[in-house]
Amino acid sequence: MFIEPHIQGERRGWIEVICGSMFSGKTEELIRRLKRARIANMKVEIFKPSVDKRYHEEEIVSHDENSVFSTPVDFSEDILLLSKDVDVIGIDEAQFFDDNIVAVCNQLALRGIRVIVAGLDMDYQGKPFGPMPDLLAIADYITKLHAICVKCGNIASFSYRKIPQEDQVVLGERDIYEPRCRYCYQLK
């Protein structure tokens, strides 16, 4: 890939990753950062995987019910096609995207775009989730958020699944998942 030489004073892009367990406030933090960018008169585009229809088909919605309009996409490459003349791109639920999301985020940053990505770092088994490890590896800034363990009140980094379903991806809310600390997660 050919990259134009950097010109002094030219805007540079970067990648920010917001990660953590379910109910840790990842989407809330993503929405907060995107709203601040809009207040600064920056052009913002927001994307989410089209498979995530839990709250709304075209909005990203936090568990606190804050929301912002987004464009659902089937493939990460679609983001490149739909992101012309923008300053900031937000991507929610990155763990559900294909592995090309890493290259897409890198290309956007090389175009001078601030890319803010939110997603689960681990699945319900406590294993790295989808492309998130690779996104964390190339990120310029990382924010790891924690929930509160519903069993003991300590910080929670794990998303415990309460139903006996073994598929890695099972969309759900508090009826299916709960945040747990390392110790309470192991108790199952």
Instruction: Give catalytic residues, as residue numbers.
Output: 93
**3-state DSSP assignment of residue 36:** helix
User: Parallel, antiparallel, or unpaired for β 177-180 and 158-161?
Assistant: antiparallel
What is d(CA 138, CA 98) in angstroms, rounded to the nearest whole number?
16
Give Cβ neighbours of residue 61 (< 8 Å, ≥ 6 apart).
27, 54, 55, 67
CB atoms closer than 10 angstroms to residue 76: 21
Q: Where are the beta strands (DSSP E) in 27-140?
A: 44-49, 59-61, 67-69, 71-73, 88-91, 114-120
